[in-house]
Structure 1
Amino acid sequence: MKNFKHRAGAVAGAAALALLAAGCGGGDSQAGTAEDPLEISITTFGTFGYDDLYAEYEEANPGIKIRHNNIDRGANAQTDLFTKLAAGSGVSDVVAIEEGWLGAVMEVSDEFVDLNDYGAEDIKDNWVDWKYQQGTDAEGRVIGYGTDIGPQGLCYNGKLFEAAGLPSDREAVAELFGGDDATWDRYFELGNEYHEKTGLGWYDQSGFVWNSMVNQMEEGYYTADGDLNIEDNAAMKEQFMQLAAGTEAGLSGNEKKWDWGKGRAFTDGSFATFVCPGWMLGTIQEQLESAGGAEDSGWDFADVFPGGASNWGGAFLSVSEESEHKEEAAKLAAWLTAPEQQVKQSAAANNFPSTLEAQQQLAEDATPNKVFNDAPTGAILASRAEGVKAQFKGPDDSVIQEKVFGAALTQLDAGSLDGEGAWNEAIKLLNEQVEQD
């Protein structure tokens, strides 16, 4: 099996990083005062739900002022982080790291503070074991406190289901897909039936369905030993061709990822199902509001997912070695990721916590989510989190997801490539985008 390293260009060379490591020192400063507060910077991405928490922290800590920057999406946040690492300056005191590019971050983990020096060991039992371990590098340094995780359920539009003669009650929908025995075979079978009746899309585009399939595998784009796991992976190709067959049959709405016509596709019936890690619920809400829809859209959330338990995404808060206020930055990161704050973050962003206490509270509260037809989304995500295991993410995992398979599947959706052609295109792009030793 080929062994690949993270493309050096993503970090602009090891030499730059060596200079960065040597040049950025900076100890902790004394906390400021209400009149002259100490400024702590933080960079997040997507929908984090932290705005109210920043204000709460500042009120409780009048000597601290939080300067926050939120980047639109994870891929752009990754570019921003590695560009600043290579430049040797500009990284925020606290920075959010997405699971998909954690492997690349681990290759430069010494650019981030070991949170063991600031009490990580004392609070490690807050998190599910695998999340805490994900944020720990090969030397045992804890470089990130977990924020959310991404257990997946199935979003569907009940109004569209009813119009096609399918049940819309979320429990009946879960049974329709097979309940605990739900499979991708059944998902595509139902999709073909829906498309034959309506002529409409079953899913928005192929890329997100593919991400879900890959994340569900015991080993994804990399083996647990860090070897690339694609070209000779017959099981992966078989699943790719299953998705391709559905797309060629008209099940894809051929929507632009992260756009959806500024939310239009969620309101005009363009597609009927959507793969939903917890954090994606917040994305859907934003899209619905952007398109002028919300609580009457018909979207719902079922406790079922093709192929069983699956985790897509989740993030961490890390403290940069560049920070001149490491102690205060570490305190902020720990506070933002504590169970009490994770519950509030979930309410604001519709994501699902990585701490055990917060998960339990959401499951017990079962608060109705008005945007999703009063579905108890927290309780459903707690159920979907059962059986989830962390998949090893290699250094180029996000590159492969976005620039290799993402690019090939865009061509498949557009009809310019068939399934075999899209697979071959992905392999070609893999060899172009991911540098071999």
Structure 2
Amino acid sequence: MNKPIRVLVTALVILTGASLILVGCGADEVSLDPADISGTITFGGWPAGDDAVAAIIEGFNEQYPNVTVELEMTATGDHHDRLLASLAARAGAPDVVMIEAEYIGSFRDRPGFVNLLDEPYNAGRFADDFVDFKWEHGLSIDGTQMVGLSWDIGPLTMFYNRRMFEAAGLPSDPDSVFELMNTPDGFLEVARAMHVPDERWLMGNAVDLISARWSNRDFYNEDLSLRIDEADSIELIDLAGQIRSQGLDANVEMWGGEWTSLLGDNRIAVVSAGSWFGGFLKSWIAPDSAGDWGVARQPLFDSVNWGGSFLAIPSMSNNPAAAWAFIEYMLTTVEAQNAMFAAVDYFPSLVPAWDASFYDEPDPYFGGQQTRRLWADIATRIEPSLVTPMDIETQGIFMSGVDVGIDAGESAESILASVVDEILRATAPERDALRTVLGLD
């Protein structure tokens, strides 16, 4: 596999002229002899990370019987806020921490983490086994430091409620659903057919269409110019505007309580999300709806990644040997990666895991579909992407601008122009600093 050009990310960097100084922490004398590894480590993250750990802890303890793993699970945003506070205070972080893909650009050049490329960890020996772009995202801007090893990716698909499609007189097999919705006109016609005023909608929010298209947060080209003014953005914003103006979306916020309730009550028909959303449906959104949901290729924009996570060791850990032993077992063994995938639908970043016959098995929750093989096929076609420190701000301005614009009935061209202007203005200081560091001026 060919590695893409080094990803551009830095959140806390020290800029001196045109140079970039990375502040990291190397490993002290750490023994990775299994006979020497013991004690208790804490694992910090968010649900369903706890269910994933539960699926592999027995296998880990067969190899490391003297290590106890304790979980500290909070909401995703709270977890990252606490991690930032711990790094600032240089105390209080768990021994192993999850870092969500949205946040990796804010952590990968920060001080306070063990460099997993250093002795005795030598994570670089696993480089060829991981999805290229996710491996790159865990590295510092100059490639000398690895803050996080990639756990999973999120091949984007459209989860759809078969029963709602059938009730609307629409086909419900995944291939037909994709073909029916794979043009803007077809997508709009399905939204109209699905709609029952104040009762049933195709989607929770029209803006979710734009959010899903750009869910990999690949907003920038290698020269730090914006990519969001590509032709498909105009097309999708126009479609979102029509859906909103015709009242065809529920106009509720994704992940909010009302959105979750509508999904569980069979009143929202589709959700575009990474493979991990399958685990959400099974565990807490619609656990009693086995067979009611299907998974189709994403209409209008296929081969997109949404999300994924990384595991890192804060340098303040008192037991980095046990922390690394746990990460190495979790993320670099086919056995553990596929056990977690089976438990929570976290699609492995570890490419050799995809060869298991398990990927061809039917998934009863999704009506016997071979969903894992579908996601593996999509994963092979996901393009490399840049990660920058501007991504979270860029995403916020983009989605908010589209939401406000379609509510006001503005044209797609006007909405996008306003969004691009605002992003360029708001991110100018960070872009200028990075351009200087990278010699792009």
Q: TM-score, normalised by structure 1?
A: 0.80
Q: Do the aligned residues in 2 keep the contact of 1:41 with 1:68 (CA within 8 Å)?
A: yes
Provide closer, same or farther for how the CA distance between residues 143 and 7 of structure 1 changes in structure 2, counting only shifts above 3 A.
closer
* Preserved contact between residue 409 and residue 422 of structure 1 (Cα < 8 Å): yes
Aligned mates of 1:275, 1:193 — CA distance in 2: 19
- Which of 136, 142, 158 is the aligned partner of 2:139? 136
Tell me by how many angstroms 1:47 deviates.
Answer: 1.9
The equivalences for 1:214-293 within 5 A come to 214-215=214-215, 220-227=218-225, 236-237=233-234, 239-261=236-258, 263-289=260-286, 293=288
Residue 404 (1) aligns with residue 397 (2): yes
CA deviation vs aligned residue, 1:157-187 (integer Å, no higher than 9, x gap): 111111111111223323333xxxx345543
Q: 2:391 & 2:256 partners in 1: Cα distance?
A: 22
> Over residues 192-233 of structure 1, what are the superposed CA-to-partner deviations in whole Å (9 max), with x where a residue is unaligned?
3433799732112244322221247xx832222335556x76
Per the alignment, do residues 238 and 173 of structure 1 end up closer, same or farther by CA in structure 2, a change over 3 Å counting? Answer: closer
Helix, strand or coil for the counterpart of 2:273? Answer: strand
2:201 corresponds to which residue? 201
Q: How does 1:144-155 map to 2 (within 5 A)?
A: 144-155=148-159
| Contact kept? 2:205, 2:252, Cα under 8 Å | yes
What is the root-mean-square deviation of aligned Cα atoms in Å?
3.7
Judged with a 3 Å threshold, the aligned counterparts in structure 2 of structure 1 residues 355 and 419 are, in CA distance, closer, same or farther, namely farther
Q: Which runs of 5+ in 2 are unaligned?
A: 1-7, 16-22, 431-441
Give 5+ residue unaligned stretches, structure 1.
Answer: 15-20
Q: What is aligned with 2:5?
A: none
| Residue 399 of structure 1: how far off its partner (Å) | 3.5
Aligned to 1:172: 176
Q: 1:202 to 1:26 in 2, by over 3 A?
A: same
User: Residue 161 of structure 1 aligns to a residue in which SS?
Assistant: helix
Q: Percent identity?
A: 22
Which residue identity does 1:124 align to in structure 2? A
Q: Is the 8 A contact 1:303 1:383 kept in 2?
A: no
Q: Structure 1 261/55 Cα, relative in aligned 2: closer, same or farther at 3 Å?
A: farther
1:155/1:300 contact within 8 Å kept: yes
Superposition pairs of residues 18-29 of structure 1, within 5 angstroms:
27-28=29-30
Deviation (angstroms), 1:64: 1.1
User: Are 2:202 and 2:249, in contact at CA under 8 Å, matched by a contact in 1?
Assistant: yes
Q: Counterpart amino acid of 2:57? A: Y
Partner of 2:19: none
Amino acid at match of 2:251: N
Alignment-derived partner of residue 212 in structure 2: 212
**1:149 Cα deviation (Å)?**
0.8
The residue number in structure 2 matching 1:64 is 67
Partner of 1:125: 128
Is the 2:206–2:240 Cα contact (8 Å) retained in structure 1?
Answer: yes
Which moves more between the two structures, 162-171 or 300-309? 300-309
Contact 1:266 1:287 in 2 (8 A): no
CA contact (8 A) 2:9 2:140 kept: no
Closer/same/farther in 2, CA of residues 404 and 288 from structure 1, 3 Å limit: same
Give 2:44's aligned residue.
Answer: 43
SS at match of 2:276: helix
Q: How many residues align?
A: 410
Distance across 2 between alignment mates of 1:223 and 1:351: 28
Contact 2:150 2:310 in 1 (8 A): yes
Q: Is the 8 A contact 1:101 1:396 kept in 2?
A: no
2:100 is the alignment partner of 1:98:
yes
Structure 1 residue 342: Cα displacement: 0.9
Judged with a 3 Å threshold, the aligned counterparts in structure 2 of structure 1 residues 115 and 54 are, in CA distance, closer, same or farther, namely farther
Q: TM-score, normalised by structure 2?
A: 0.79
Distance 1:32 1:354 in 2: 25
- The residue aligned with 1:328 is 322
Determine helix, strand or coil for the equivalent of 2:84.
Answer: helix
TM-aligned CA deviation for residue 235 of structure 1: 5.8
1:190 aligned onto 2:193: no
| Segment of structure 1 superposing worse, 195-204 or 80-89 | 195-204
1: CA distance between counterparts of 2:301 and 2:80? 30
Give the 3-state SS of the residue equivalent to 1:111 in structure 2. Answer: coil
- Residue identity in the other structure for 1:294: S
1:18 equivalent in structure 2: none
Letter in 1 for 2:397: V
